[in-house]
């Protein structure tokens, strides 16, 4: 293992998020080779890392999950006001984190992993990774509105103009949209600029991973060539 920032190491071990790791380090709950850890320090493969007296280490094999998030499940690890949290709903035996949120009212594919480097690669906007959605509105779509969204629209609430995107009409009220960015509630906001309200929104693909035959609440492990292709498209070597 090359030297790694301690907060990233703890997150990769499945202890907690990087932000929470920083808090653990600051509170003195982390020891490196018997000494109190310092913020920003890096660790190597031979170092002994302890959190509150318990030794932690990187899992030998990383996992990637494809999960069908149902409507009503919240993408958060902690939210006192949320009744259903994604990490509790999935109930996986190892700590995994989602890469790219879906809002509470949306459903579909969510990728989760314990590989922090993969999450970082997937979340970099400049990589322009594709995400595919099926969008149903309350009224029939006009060609002009679709073309405006294809070209990119200005979202006043966010102060940004969306990138050009692919849009295919599947029915009078149904569109397939392929985006290469992930602004907050982007599709709903894009539709609102054209005077349309989204009735339902489902994500069906992230990069090369599809929803396949998953039903709401189900998940599957991403393995084999599908997994290798995901890492390749993210510019990474699959460490498994």
pLDDT of residue 82: 66
Q: How far is CA 95 from the centre of its chain?
A: 14
Report yes or no: 229 and 174 within 8 Å, Cβ to Cβ. Answer: no
Give the predicted TM-score (pTM) of the model: 0.77
Report yes or no: 118 and 187 within 8 Å, Cβ to Cβ. Answer: no
Residue among 203, 194, 191, 176 nearest 69 (CA): 203
pLDDT of residue 189: 97
pLDDT of residue 2: 76
Contacts of 146 (CB under 8 A, 6+ apart): 167, 169, 175
The alpha carbons of the chain give a radius of gyration, in whole angstroms, of 20
What does the angle CA 229 – CA 235 – CA 239 come to, to the nearest 5 degrees?
70
What does the angle CA 75 – CA 78 – CA 84 come to, to the nearest 5 degrees?
55
Active site residue 22: no
Contacts of 70 (CB under 8 A, 6+ apart): 89, 107, 216, 217
Cα–Cα separations (whole angstroms), residue 233 to 70, 102, 113, 143: 27, 22, 16, 33
Ranges in the chain, pLDDT < 50: none
pLDDT of residue 16: 85
Return the percent helix, strand and coil in the chain, to nearest 5. Answer: 25, 30, 50
pLDDT digits (tens, 9 = 90+) for 61-108: 889 999 999 999 998 876 656 678 888 888 888 888 898 889 999 999
Among 47, 103, 143, 238, the active-site one is 103
Distance between CA 231 and CA 50 in Å, rounded?
A: 30
Report yes or no: 33 and 7 within 8 Å, Cβ to Cβ. Answer: no
Give me the residue label for tokens 């290798």.
228
Q: Which helix (H) or strand (E) holds 224?
A: helix 224-233
CA quadruple 101, 107, 111, 117: dihedral, nearest 10: -10
DSSP letter for 239, please.
-
């Amino acid at each position: 293992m090359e030297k790694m920032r301690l907060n990233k190491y703890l997150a990769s071990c499945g202890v907690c998020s990087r932000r929470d790791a920083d808090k653990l380090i600051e509170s003195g709950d982390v020891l490196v080779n018997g000494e109190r850890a310092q913020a920003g320090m890096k660790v190597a493969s031979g170092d002994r890392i302890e959190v509150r007296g318990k030794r932690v280490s990187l899992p030998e094999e990383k996992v990637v999950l494809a999960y069908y998030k149902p409507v009503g499940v919240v993408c958060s690890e902690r939210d006192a006001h949320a009744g259903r949290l994604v990490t509790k709903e999935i109930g996986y035996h190892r700590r995994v984190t989602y890469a790219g949120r879906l809002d509470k009212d949306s459903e579909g594919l969510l990728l989760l992993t314990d590989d922090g480097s993969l999450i970082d690669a997937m979340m970099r906007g400049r990589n322009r990774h594709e995400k595919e959605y099926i969008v149903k509105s309350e009224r029939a779509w006009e060609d002009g509105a679709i073309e405006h969204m294809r070209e990119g629209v200005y979202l006043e609430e966010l102060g940004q103009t969306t990138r050009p995107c692919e849009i295919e009409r599947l029915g009078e009220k149904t569109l397939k949209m392929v985006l290469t960015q992930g602004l907050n509630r982007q599709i709903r906001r894009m539709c609102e600029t054209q005077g349309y309200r989204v009735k339902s929104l489902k994500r069906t693909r992230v990069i090369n991973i599809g929803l396949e035959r998953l039903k709401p609440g189900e998940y599957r492990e991403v393995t084999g060539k599908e997994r290798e292709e995901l890492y390749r498209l993210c510019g990474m070597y699959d460490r498994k």
